[in-house]
Chains A and B, each alone.
Chain A
Amino acid sequence: MNEPHGLGPLERSFEVFFARVRAEERAPSDLWTGVVSRLNEVEAGPTAPRRRIGRRAVLRFAAAASIVAVAMVGVFLVTVRGDGPSSSTVSAEEVLRRAVVTAAAPEAGGIARLTLTLEIESFATGDWGGDEPSFEARMQSWYQAPNHQRIEGEYLWREFDGGTTASSIITVWDGDAVWRHTVDEQRVVVQNQDVTSDTFLQGLLWGGSVPNVSHELATACRTPQIVDDGEVVGRATYVLELSRPRCGLVFPGGDGKQRIWVDRETGLVLRSEWYAADGMLASVRRVTAIAVDAEIDDRRFDFILPPGVALDDRRGDASYFYLTGLSMPEEPPSISIGEAREAATFELQVPTFVPAGFSLESVQQYWGGEMARELRSHADWVLLRYVDEGGNWLQIAQGYGGPLSGLMVAAPADARQGSVSVGGVDVLWVDGSPAVWGWGPGAMLTMSWQVNRDGTAREYVAGGDVQSGSPRSMSLATNVLSLDELVAVAESLE
């Protein structure tokens, strides 16, 4: 050891223990081969074949691919295709399904290429007593099936003090990687492209939700209704109103009803309006020009690194995407329960019972600054993680923006699921959820419920807080405990 330290009983135990670990945990004999393989891929650049598909990658891919395939086939089979029946002969559910399928895979809507421009205007909900914070975006997008897209966007944040922040971002999905060039910062971040997403374009239009999750949320938690026929950029649409959500993950501003204008021919969402719980309009997203299947120069989907920019290459990481496709914020440090209680904007609940062998491993409070800023929403939640000596885990997530409850409604049809009463509250549980990300039955047991559904909650906006109605969720998940044990933990929360 490089630095002398007193050899007390603990240190002596360390020496023996770590010597044993060193003897047992030796690098794999093919380490050098693996390193060479990785070097070859990295040095060949982004157009080269992807890194070797190892055991883990195979599992990831198989899980994701099978889930996506099953989901897409299932949804597609029940989808109404065609040129768009009149609103008198088509149900709201069918229109919604059509929109979801097209959003998730535009080819299913008959779209091979798409060029459009769109505008977004979002407003902070609440009484600001002065300048109203807002967000404006103008984007041009080129899409080519499958998995190729380019979005060039100009964004403007108007803060409540009247100040503004502008940003210009170019994002290119080249089929393999996502390149995000923040022009003002002269910075490019490149990540693996999420295999489960064909395009984020419709997510933008829809209002920040991954379409295949939105579908479940929309159908399970909102009641769709065709309220009108409409026209956007010369195209005939159904105007669909989705009721205020009864469950699932929603964001402030999305707590109220939504209206979407669904293109009759393709199922594309051409306009959406979000309303807050109090009925105020929170966001408008609209297509201002569109060309379906017009020729697009392939070079649109090649990202060429401009000279002088800093490249942050994250392709070595698996892509993890939060619901909206944004990377999760950096991992916060582990803190004490007391510190978490102080930091959180809600009353933290801690179990007085955990099954024998489990102990608290970490407490983390997520206040997702970047995510919150991008969503103009909150992400204040605390994660308690308990583990046993076998590496089994129990996680308790609670707070605003904790997403598990939203994902739970996207459980696969074959997942065991039900509800159970915990302290008089109906709690949804799912064994093997959430399906959209590739969980297998039996892989994880989750339970989730919401508190304070109609109460007040803190919404994050840049530079300040605002109160708005919003759900706070409690979610428990484990890889090993039984439902009874999970219920016992849940009932001990205080």
Chain B
Amino acid sequence: MDDEQDALRRCRAGDRRAFSLIVNRYGDVLYGTAVMMLRDRVEAEDAVQDAFVDAWRGLGTFDGSRPLRPWLLRVLVNQVLRRQRRKVLPIVGGGDETLASLASADADPELAALRSWERESVAVALAALPVDAARVVILRFFSELTVAEVAEALDVPEGTVKSRLHRALRTLRDSLGESDLAPQSKREGRSERKTRA
């Protein structure tokens, strides 16, 4: 993308307005990925903001001949991992994190209803996966990274990604069952009715 290359060049020269193009272009995929992984929109927003800040500061190390999207997702994953490390901590000494999380959890029923994907069987099955496996599935199928890019984002070998993916898909098939894996047209019909306008 020429405009992206141009924006990157200007970013490296310190032009913040050029960076807004990057943020606007990739904000949605980073935010969606963060929401899927963190299941917490406030936390996701923070993670995405911090990821873009990290990206801005790290642009000097980014190889401009490579695609930007996987690199940004890698930066985001680092932010997500930091937050997920903390997420287990409330029980062991932290606490404010979960307090805030509880207080901010979809208090608006209207908003919660609109985002009904969370009650879909796929979402439930994903949430039941071990976190490592869920990350791989999300990056592969939601963020649409290749296996190699997922490996790079998670800093693990490709073989590890493949084996995690294989196990995750097998688990998901088992847990979802035939009834939840309806033919494409039927699922799409359901989805369209429930999707926010």
Partners in one complex: yes
Which residues of B are found within 8 Å of A23, using beta-carbon distances?
195-196
Partner of B122, one of A17, A318, A320: A17
CB of B117 within 8 A of CB of A333, answer no
List, in ascending order, chain B residues with CB within 8 A of A38's CB: 49-50, 52-53
CB-CB under 8 A from B85, the residues of chain A are 328, 330-331
B120 at interface (Cβ–Cβ under 8 A)? yes
**A385 contacts the other chain (Cβ, under 8 Å)?**
yes
Question: Knowing A10-B176, A23-B196 touch, does A475 contact B120 (C-beta < 8 A)?
Answer: no
Contacting A at CB under 8 A, from B138-161, are 141-142, 144-147, 149
Please pick, from A26, A56, A328, A333, the residue contacting B92 in the complex, using a CB distance under 8 A. Answer: A328
Do A35 and B131 touch across chains, with their CB atoms under 8 A apart? no
A389 near B127 with CB under 8 A, answer yes
Cβ of B102 < 8 Å from any Cβ of A?
A: yes
Contact B102 A56 (CB under 8 A): no
| Residue in B closest to A329 when the chains form the complex, CB atoms | B85
CA distance A9 to B88 in the complex (A): 34
Contacts A31-B27, A60-B96 given; does A39 touch B16 at CB 8 Å: yes
Q: How far is B195's CA from A396's CA once the two chains are assembled, in angstroms?
A: 37
- State whether the Cβ of A411 lies closer than 8 Å to any Cβ in chain B: no
A403 x B93 contact (CB < 8 A):
yes
A395 at the interface (CB under 8 A from B): yes
- Cβ of B59 within 8 Å of any chain A Cβ, yes or no, is no
- The verdict on A294 contacting chain B, using a C-beta distance below 8 Å, is no
Q: Does B163 contact A (CB under 8 A)?
A: no
With A20-B191, A31-B23, A333-B132 known to touch, is A2 a contact of B181 (CB < 8 Å)? Answer: no
Specify which of B42, B53, B102, B188 is in contact with A16 (CB 8 Å cutoff).
B188
Given contacts A389-B124, A437-B95, contact A35 B53 (CB under 8 A): yes
Tell me, in angstroms, the Cα distance from A17 to B138 when the chains sit together: 11
Name the B residues within 8 Å of A21 (CB-CB): 32, 35-36, 117, 142
A237 shortest CB reach to chain B, Å: 31
Residues in A with CB closer than 8 Å to B81 are: 331
Please judge, given known A-B contacts A14-B122, A320-B86, A404-B91, whether A56 and B42 are in contact too, CB under 8 Å.
yes
Judge whether A361 and B122 touch: CB under 8 Å. no
Complex: A444 Cα to B52 Cα, angstroms: 34
| Partner-A contacts on B (CB < 8 A) | 16, 19-20, 23-24, 27-32, 35-36, 39, 41-43, 45-46, 48-50, 52-53, 56-57, 79, 81-82, 84-86, 88-100, 102-105, 114-115, 117-120, 122-124, 127-128, 130-132, 141-142, 144-147, 149, 169, 172-173, 176, 178, 180-184, 187-188, 190-191, 194-196
**A residues neighboring B (CB under 8 Å):** 1-3, 9-28, 31-32, 34-36, 38-39, 42, 54-56, 59-60, 63-64, 316-318, 320-323, 328, 330-331, 333-334, 359, 361-362, 364, 383, 385, 387, 389, 391, 395, 397, 402-404, 407, 434, 437-440, 443-444, 446, 475, 477, 479
